Chains A and B, each alone.
Chain A
Amino acid sequence: MKKLAILLFTLLLAAPVRAAVDTSTPEGMIKGLSDEVLTILKTDPDLKKGDVKSAVAQIDAKVLTHFNFRHMTSLAMGKEWRKATPAQQDTLVKEFKDLLVRTYSNALTVYRNPTIVFKTSRVTPTDADALVRTQVLQPGNTPADIDYHLEKTPAGWQVFDVVVAGVSLVTNYRDYFTQEVSRGGVEGAIASMRNKNETQDKGK
């Protein structure tokens, strides 16, 4: 009887909680994404040893599919975005996604066993954009605000900006890109990101 209980318990723990993220409302979606992140942070065995690689891969697979990287890239580029040809835009999106996945996942893996509190959500009257404000609590750390900006797409709500303690992980690059493009054109901006991504991949 005791053995059976242990077996059941183990099975319960091992069974992947595969509740698909509900993308029909902005808050529901961020709740779903947060649950996914919390599960990954709590269960990833390598994380305790300080190795974030597998946690990053899981966050990429389960969470970042709900991010609109094209919109994020154009937001980061600001007025420089329109200077890029469609082919250049595709490359920019690919490189920027690599960069952002690494930054966002690293920002999350700072926490070990956090609680996520939902503060307020605001949906614009036209129902096209939404802002969901959350707070990450971790004993001994100052609470960190993480805000998500979302937009409605045919495929449901998608995230297009993440703001950590007032710092947008996306628009934080805008002045840099403006400077890069004025110095070496759109190709210069692409090259600088590619270079960064390559050195980071090698370093890992």
Chain B
Amino acid sequence: MTTSSRSIFRIALPLVLLLLLGACATPHPNPRDPWEGFNRPVFRFNDGLDRAVIKPAAKGYDWLVPANLQVVIGNFFANLSDLYISLNNLLQGKPKEAGGDLARVLINSSLGIGGLVDAATGMGFEKHDEDFGQTLAVWGVESGPFVVLPVIGPRTVRDSFSLAADWEGDPLSWVKPDLLHYSLSGLHQVDKRAGLLPGDKVIEAGAIDKYSYIRDAYLQHRRYEIYDGAPPPEDDEK
């Protein structure tokens, strides 16, 4: 059922986005967030889901799994992602980085015992963070407005459309049988969420309005990822 559940997403996603095009305007529209009226309720829904299910699961995981084992689990998933990261670096015209990512996969899969140990970083092959949305951005595709997708969370329109490619490129999606696929995906999500637990405190301390705080942090962080950590300064008075 793996394929059919993903194709539902693939059909539903553009539909949601099309609906948004007709969404009503807010009184003081933010040029970067014209769909705020739609986004806020979805954000509230996602936040509720996180509080009720995902965060408690991540907390339980964090309590149950020793820190060293968490590192190993994180390494395993990071190794799986490096092949697709390499492809994206290649598509972005960065053969040197793409080669480094490939070297990471080879080293960590062998010396690093199937990816459980990150041996490559110590050997000078830095971990990168790339996805198809970043590749599209490098190709000159505009981000489009900010959008909060149900369950998935904050995105831009460009990065919503690129999700389908990211799913296909994730080796976890190739895993059979389904039970193993869902278990691994679940573990991956919970591990990722557990890694974000300390960040919750920062948001809680800093955000006056959680929605706009997360929106603006997401957009800033996305720019930073697209420019590989060195975005040009933004116009001060926009």
**Chain A interface (Cβ within 8 Å of chain B)?**
52, 78-79, 99-100, 102-103, 106-107, 109-110, 139-142, 145, 165-169, 171-176, 178-179, 182-183, 192-193, 195-196, 200
Contact = CB atoms under 8 A, between A and B. Distances in A.
Contacts of A100: 206
A176 B211 CA distance: 10
A103 B201 CA distance: 8
Interface string B198-213: 1101101110110011
A165 B30 contact: no
Interface residues of B, number: 37
Interface of B: 28, 30, 32-33, 67-68, 70-71, 74, 127, 129, 195, 198-199, 201-202, 204-206, 208-209, 212-213, 215-217, 220-221, 223-225, 229, 231, 234, 236-238
Nearest to B230: A133
Contacts of B198: 110
A37 B206 CA distance: 20
Contact of A175 (B32, B224, B225, B236): B32
B74 A176 contact: no
A110 B213 CA distance: 19
Contacts of B221: 165-167
A196 B213 contact: no
B206 A169 contact: yes
16 contacts: A102-B205, A110-B201, A142-B129, A166-B223, A168-B220, A169-B206, A172-B220, A173-B208, A174-B216, A175-B215, A176-B212, A176-B213, A176-B216, A179-B30, A182-B28, A183-B28
By secondary structure, the B interface counts as helix
A166 B212 contact: no
A141 B195 contact: yes
A198 B107 CA distance: 52
B231 A166 contact: yes
A103 B199 CA distance: 10
Most chain B Cβ neighbours within 10 Å, of A99, A171, A173: A173
Contacts of A166: 220-221, 223-225, 229, 231
Contacts of B70: 140
Nearest to B30: A175
Contacts of A145: 229
A193 B213 contact: no
Contact of A167 (B201, B204, B220, B238): B220
Given A165-B224, A167-B224, A106 B205 contact: yes
Contacts of B208: 99, 173, 176, 192-193, 195-196
A193 B221 CA distance: 24
A60 B161 CA distance: 44
Given A166-B229, A169-B206, A106 B201 contact: yes
